[in-house]
Structure 1
Amino acid sequence: MNLNIEQKYWRKRIFILTWLSYAGFYFCRKNLAVTWSSMESDLGLDNSDYASIIFIYSLIYTIGQFVNGYLSDKFGPRKIVSTGLFLAAIANFFLGMSFSVGIVIFLISLNGYGQSTGWSGLIKNMTPWFRTNERGIVMSWWSTCYVTGSFLATIFATYAAFDMDFMSELGWKRGFYFPSIILVAIAFIYLLFTRNNPQDINLPTILESKYELGNNRKQDNLKLLKILIKNKALWIYSSCYLILKLTRYAFLFWLPIYLEKSLNYNVSDSGYISSVYELIGFFGVILAGYSSDKLFDSKRFSTISLMMLGLATVCLIHSSLISFGSAGVIISIALIGIATYGPDSLISTAGAMDVGGKKGAGMAAGIINGTGSIGQMFSGYIVVAINETYGWDNLFNFFVIMALVGGGLAALNWNYKSPDTYTSFG
């Protein structure tokens, strides 16, 4: 069925608004990594405190993923995501006033719950507007939101905290105040201008296959959940995502610190150089989407397996690349970004949408992202334990092993293609 002009307009509108919203979340997520060294000095903290803060944040974020995936399916993403955007912004503003580790942990917990509404809710928001056979490419472009958002957030937080002349007496605290203002503005835009699905604005439904529409009877969310958890593909996606989020959040939170403390860059240069991880990671997202749809006929696991094996290779040669100086450091960070963000985006967008279908996309995204967040939760402790015992170089060897495991798991389902039948019960 061809789409009418209004349907095409709203698809673009929803794409832009949801993209902007998730990119916005990163302005109140990445700033902690950039400002930590200065916070550490001012508040008398250390890397163990940082690992504990990351753990608490990730624990709340993980629980929230499971809860908010369900709530987004039940109440609609517009309400749930809007609440999360405002909560994350408020928590970040008060983080700039923090004077003890206890207050930091409390506020980072509020931020974690607010952040947890974003992914599953926005995946749910996107699902009714795009068909299965176009999701790989569409969602590869859409999922540049968190790569681009993370890049822009890193640059902005570094500038606001260390290089901006305005209110210079506040120092690193500006890295929380100004990003929170940006997120409040985005929250209002999302709340006012987005809609949950075409039916909310009296448009014809876009998903018309018998599998994606299901039937008109009221669906039982618990029955849908039971169907989802029996799906082998869901758990392979989730296992791979646990490995990828462990890796990605290790880089997200620790890369500026690694550059400063291991490779002896100053705090400002560390922030800017670390942004290469997201800047070039953008191209991994696009590569994964096109590879999945065009080369492998929407068989996601083929692309995931190959890119995770690529991640293992780059981490293996990292120590050789950095011997070439700053150019080698940037090349290594860029390649790791491509090999991380590509499969990460494919699993958490098109993969979740394929498994969950129209009615269960929020729940599937919540399960996948929630499971992945367990890896995120322990990433800080793993980084500290390996770094303090064996040094930074062996941390990259650990990532080699993890990536090989993930690539092998994905290869088990190499030819799998979701039939999107999981919403047809009734």
Structure 2
Amino acid sequence: MSTPAIELQARPQARPALAPELLRRFGRLRPEAFALTWLVYVAFYLVRKNFDGAKPGLLAAGYAKAEVATMDGAFLAAYALGQFVAGPIGDWLGAKRVILVGLSVSVGANLAFGFLEPVPLLATALAVNGVAQACGFPLCCKVIAAWFPASMRGRASAWFLTSYTLGDIAAKALAGSMINGAGWRFAFLVPAGIVVGFIALFALRLRQSPREVGLPDVSEIENEPEPLAQPGLAPRFGGQLVRLLRMPATWVVCGAYFLLKMARYTFMGWSNVYLFEQLRYAPGDATLATIPITVGGLVGTLAAGYASDRLFGGRRAPVVVFCIFGLAIVTPFYAGLGSGEPTRAMLLHLLIGLFAYGADAIMSAAMAMDLAGSEGAASAAGLLNGIGSVGATLSPVLGAWVSMTFGWTWAWYVLSGLLLVSAALMATRWRRAGADG
């Protein structure tokens, strides 16, 4: 976990007025801030993705599939709506405070879920957890933006986003082992207990910005002005969000990300169903066959971050367009996949993960930071991911309704068409960086 933080350090291009001791202190504290922010999001996932891991246990305990779906829907809706509010609150009150409150409420919701019985109360607990979880990603983006200048944010956000892939694996592995050993309730009680320890660590050690520890802003240390900085203006609730909503670039990126996240969640949530129904895979084999999507996603996330920083000088759109267009091209080939082609299936899953996660990583984190700068990073990430989450909630339309009504081939063709629209939107920003235009 410390390796990415060390990798992300850049040789400071400091102004002569800065004392060497300040630079040494900054060089020591930035890797720590990055590592703790990475761990923050893993902690959020331990008390979020455990529900996905616990679904078989809930079904085995007698809850109907429709009841589990109701609980899931309550979480997703609350999570999407919560991000629109959590980001502006974080820009107003500070990232660390909101992160600690969000994690604490999430722990409480998990403890409640572990003791409750009726479906309405369980759905309510998950809805509360959804709002609390919305305090995670946007505020982590704000911390990353405070410690890394614009020229490094592609790489920094790419390494940071490995947390949700590895956090997902950890949460589901822990939930599965708890279900097998002690029952589904412990899939919520044990992670909650673990995260209490993390909260204490974050309260003591997490530094939300260099300014918090008496250092100059990262723009001054790296001699790289923050393009959207507004010195002298006191933070106010919703101020950054209002500014974002007035920018044409915001709406272009949000529209493209809405379509991309719908596509990513369709692949994440329904590709194993496609393999099971259409290609006659065994249920377990269908799920195992989609693991390369996650593997490709790890590679794509890191490759996209480095490419946007080093090959395109901080311009994110070219990398995003390449990834989304690549995903749009691969998708029709997925529709033509045969049941006796495991090697081809593995290759397609790797490419799907590479392109889908690569584009998602840039848009959800680095591009959000570029749109608003360090002062408004939480509002931008909350707005982008809130709109993207609305798209994610519509993924069952493609995965279920279209496939049942017109067949899986048409479902993948429709998805490919939507991805081409997303790529076309982002192509309008090919030569632009940050909030320009």
| 1:64 aligned partner, one-letter code | G
CA positional deviation for 1:283: 0.6
**Does structure 1 residue 416 correspond to structure 2 residue 416?**
no
The answer on whether the counterparts of 2:320 and 2:362 sit within 8 Å (CA) in structure 1 is yes
The answer on whether the counterparts of 1:357 and 1:420 sit within 8 Å (CA) in structure 2 is no
Q: Distance in 1 between matches of 2:176 and 2:290?
A: 11
Q: Distance in 2 between matches of 1:249 and 1:98?
A: 29
Q: Distance in 1 between matches of 2:270 and 2:58?
A: 14
CA positional deviation for 1:342: 0.7
**Does structure 1 residue 195 correspond to structure 2 residue 212?**
no
Counterpart of 1:323 in 2: which secondary structure?
Answer: coil
CA positional deviation for 1:37: 4.0
- Which of 177, 190, 195 is the aligned partner of 1:183? 195
**Does structure 1 residue 14 correspond to structure 2 residue 33?**
yes
Counterpart of 2:219 in 1: which secondary structure?
Answer: coil
- Which of 286, 289, 303 is the aligned partner of 2:305? 289
- Which of 359, 368, 382 is the aligned partner of 2:375? 359
- Aligned pair in 2 of structure 1 residues 307, 109: CA closer, same or farther (>3 Å)? same
Give runs of aligned pairs for residues 26-425 of structure 1, distance below 5 A: 26-46=45-65, 48-97=66-115, 99-162=117-180, 166-167=181-182, 170=183, 172-208=184-220, 209=225, 211=227, 213-254=229-270, 263-267=280-284, 273-321=289-337, 323-418=339-434
The answer on whether the counterparts of 1:66 and 1:370 sit within 8 Å (CA) in structure 2 is yes
**Does structure 1 residue 23 correspond to structure 2 residue 42?**
yes
147-156 vs 408-417, greater mean Cα deviation: 147-156
Q: Distance in 2 between matches of 1:331 and 1:156?
A: 29
Structure 1 unaligned blocks of 5 or more: 422-426
Counterpart of 2:376 in 1: which secondary structure?
Answer: helix
The answer on whether the counterparts of 1:312 and 1:404 sit within 8 Å (CA) in structure 2 is yes
254-263 vs 81-90, greater mean Cα deviation: 254-263
Q: Distance in 1 between matches of 2:174 and 2:272?
A: 14
CA positional deviation for 1:226: 3.0
- Figure out how many residues of one structure are paired with residues of the other and give that number: 413
CA positional deviation for 1:223: 4.6
C-alpha root-mean-square deviation of aligned residues, in Å?
A: 2.8
Q: Distance in 1 between matches of 2:313 and 2:114?
A: 48
Counterpart of 1:196 in 2: which secondary structure?
Answer: coil
The answer on whether the counterparts of 1:308 and 1:339 sit within 8 Å (CA) in structure 2 is yes
Q: Distance in 1 between matches of 2:414 and 2:177?
A: 32
CA positional deviation for 1:183: 3.0
The answer on whether the counterparts of 1:155 and 1:272 sit within 8 Å (CA) in structure 2 is no
The answer on whether the counterparts of 2:331 and 2:415 sit within 8 Å (CA) in structure 1 is yes
TM-score (norm 1): 0.87
412-421 vs 82-91, greater mean Cα deviation: 412-421
> Deviation digits for residues 279-336 of structure 1, max 9, x if unmatched?
3311110111122122222111111111011112222112444534544443333322
| 2:199 aligned partner, one-letter code | A
The answer on whether the counterparts of 1:160 and 1:175 sit within 8 Å (CA) in structure 2 is yes
Higher relative contact order (CA 8 A, sep 6+): 1
Q: Distance in 1 between matches of 2:119 and 2:322?
A: 41
The answer on whether the counterparts of 2:89 and 2:237 sit within 8 Å (CA) in structure 1 is no
CA positional deviation for 1:176: 3.3
> Deviation digits for residues 202-247 of structure 1, max 9, x if unmatched?
1222123264543224255555433221212211221122122223
CA positional deviation for 1:72: 0.4
- Aligned pair in 2 of structure 1 residues 362, 114: CA closer, same or farther (>3 Å)? same
Structure 2 unaligned blocks of 5 or more: 1-12, 15-21
TM-score (norm 2): 0.85
The answer on whether the counterparts of 2:91 and 2:240 sit within 8 Å (CA) in structure 1 is no
- Aligned pair in 2 of structure 1 residues 210, 54: CA closer, same or farther (>3 Å)? closer
| 2:361 aligned partner, one-letter code | S
Q: Distance in 2 between matches of 1:304 and 1:372?
A: 15
The answer on whether the counterparts of 1:88 and 1:114 sit within 8 Å (CA) in structure 2 is yes
CA positional deviation for 1:154: 3.6
| 1:265 aligned partner, one-letter code | A
- Aligned pair in 2 of structure 1 residues 103, 222: CA closer, same or farther (>3 Å)? closer
The answer on whether the counterparts of 1:155 and 1:271 sit within 8 Å (CA) in structure 2 is no
Q: Distance in 1 between matches of 2:373 and 2:28?
A: 23
> Deviation digits for residues 97-123 of structure 1, max 9, x if unmatched?
454432331121011111100111111
Q: Distance in 2 between matches of 1:360 and 1:252?
A: 30
191-200 vs 118-127, greater mean Cα deviation: 191-200
The answer on whether the counterparts of 2:26 and 2:215 sit within 8 Å (CA) in structure 1 is yes
The answer on whether the counterparts of 2:327 and 2:356 sit within 8 Å (CA) in structure 1 is yes
Q: Which has the higher helix share?
A: 1
> Deviation digits for residues 370-415 of structure 1, max 9, x if unmatched?
1111112333455332343344554333322221121111112111
> Deviation digits for residues 232-287 of structure 1, max 9, x if unmatched?
221122112212222333344455666666654345x6665544432331111011
Percent identity between matched residues is 28
